[in-house]
Chains A and B, each alone.
Chain A
Amino acid sequence: MDAVVVDNLCYKYQPSGRQILKNISFKAGQGEIVAVLGLSGCGKSTLGLCLGGIIPHYLGGELTGRVQVHGIEVKDHNVARLALEVGLVFQDPETQLFLPTVEDEIAFAPENLCLPPEEIGKRVYDMINMLGLSDIRQANPNQLSGGQKHLVALGAVLALEPGILVLDEVMAQMDSTSKKKIKDILVNLRLYGKTILIIEHELESLSIADRILVLEDGALIRDGQASEIVADEEFLARQKLMF
């Protein structure tokens, strides 16, 4: 069974507005890292929000087509239920942290799962070690720098242990050490059978991807092996995706 199935997805934020996603169809199998590539404003974040059910449950708009995660229809379940399947790290580092300390932030999701305190403690400990947050364990998330905030948000989502991960330009504000760390973690998670969607601009960050989806103005214009697309410099240059 495919972990993510998107079929003929169309979306507008306002019924009278511009079509943001146009007939998007793709599948992602278990244990696959899929990168989404495209100019800014082409609808990458919007696609991510559709997978997590934020669209249509919170943002409304006009959505047609099908989005399934682990076989369940996104439209028919609330965001909290979907969170058990899909972990979403948002693009804006500022507005996704709301607890007094980094530790509380990471504990929040497992607490919602009604896990016993020992298990919660273990997950918090693991995340803090894995992401190297021990120095800022008791820090106030609001006072961290942008890259640190994204690291904490990632930890908070990973603590849910969802089968599917969507990371929206999470590496953009990180230094090269943190970027490398994230890439290692993602490669490792793939071994555990997680399906990962990453949205990034830097081709360098895409080196871990198995597959790349290229969006142009809301339409999926190419879906292929990562190695093949990265090697196709002519195509990338034409799509203005090379620096």
Chain B
Amino acid sequence: MAFIDLINVSYKYPGQQRTILHDINLSIWNRGCTAVTGSNGSGKTTLSKLLLGILTPVTGLVKLNGQPLTSMTLPQIGRRIGYVFQNPDRQIFCATVEEEISFGLQNQGLSPDQVLQKVKAILDYFELTRYAHTFPLALSAGEKRRLAIAAVLALEPDLLVLDEPTAGLDPYRKRLLGDYLEKIIASHKGVVIISHDHQFIARYATRFIRLKNGQVVEGQGA
């Protein structure tokens, strides 16, 4: 049993003709770095939302640690899996950058001191300290992306799912992100990266999945 199992999963958006994903069987472990690639509109984002239980498969089943996702609540899932949306605007909901990062930590029941420490460390690492008290939606696109990623990384989930995390990041920040991911993976956690950025995944990913015509194809050359 893997960390996440997709069993015969098919998906189609309500009211649409086209089935985006056909009968997918896939196992994802909370180890190593899995890269998901595929052309625009091939269903990568859809797949990631299925992994999180944000979308429910039309047929088939998604299991987290052997337990069907449908029987779990989003906060329960969120404690195990961290998710960064393709559009960072949608997951930014606090009034300041600092609050955005501390929000999830506070819900984990950490003491104010611990929260403060973690927030400071992660703001420093992602070079967001100078914006700690600014309104997040007034940041540049790349800064918002970094914030969205940082807010989820701070929670240290067992598995991280990142939807196009490098879009809008400059090469230097990509390196920062990649190095952080390597640290996470070294501490026995898993990462799933959805990306078109071949350079990035070639450097950091250990497993390659490609979506094509609603099917998954495994392997580097796929």
User: Which A residues are closer than 8 A to B by beta carbons?
Assistant: 13, 38-41, 45-46, 91-94, 136, 143-148, 151, 169, 172-179, 201-202, 240-243
Contacts and interface: CB of A to CB of B under 8 A. Distances in A.
A53 B145 CA distance: 26
Nearest to A39: B170
Contact of B140 (A41, A145, A173, A178): A41
B168 A242 contact: no
Interface string B143-175: 101100000000000000000100111111111
Interface string B192-214: 00001111100000000000000
B41 A144 contact: yes
A138 to B, nearest CB: 12
B173 A40 contact: yes
A41 B200 CA distance: 21
B172 A94 contact: no
Contact of B138 (A13, A94, A201, A242): A13
Given A13-B138, A145-B41, A173 B167 contact: yes
8 contacts: A39-B170, A40-B142, A40-B168, A91-B141, A172-B168, A176-B196, A241-B171, A241-B172
A41 B172 contact: no
A40 B175 contact: no
Contact of A243 (B44, B86, B145, B174): B174
A173 B164 contact: yes
Task: Provide the main secondary structure of the chain A interface.
Answer: loop
B87 interface: yes
B45 interface: yes
Given A92-B89, A144-B41, A176-B198, A243 B141 contact: no
Contact of B171 (A136, A174, A242): A242
A240 B168 CA distance: 15
Contacts of B169: 40, 201
A49 to B, nearest CB: 11
The size class of the interface chain B forms with chain A is 20 to 34
Nearest to A171: B196
A243 B164 CA distance: 17
B46 to A, nearest CB: 9
B71 interface: no
A45 B140 CA distance: 8
User: Which among B40, B139, B141, B143 has the greatest number of chain A C-beta atoms within 10 A?
Assistant: B40
Contacts of A93: 87
User: Which among A40, A45, A143, A174 has the greatest number of chain B C-beta atoms within 10 A?
Assistant: A40
Contact of A201 (B38, B143, B170): B170
Nearest to B164: A173
A174 B87 contact: no
Given A146-B86, A175-B40, A241 B141 contact: no
A172 to B, nearest CB: 4
A201 B86 CA distance: 18
A35 B172 CA distance: 18
Contacts of A144: 41
A82 B86 CA distance: 32
Given A94-B89, A176-B196, A241-B172, A147 B142 contact: no
B171 A146 contact: no
Contacts of A38: 170
B18 to A, nearest CB: 10
Contacts of B143: 40-41
Contacts of B139: 41
A176 B200 CA distance: 14
A243 B203 CA distance: 10
Contacts of B141: 40, 45, 91-92, 169
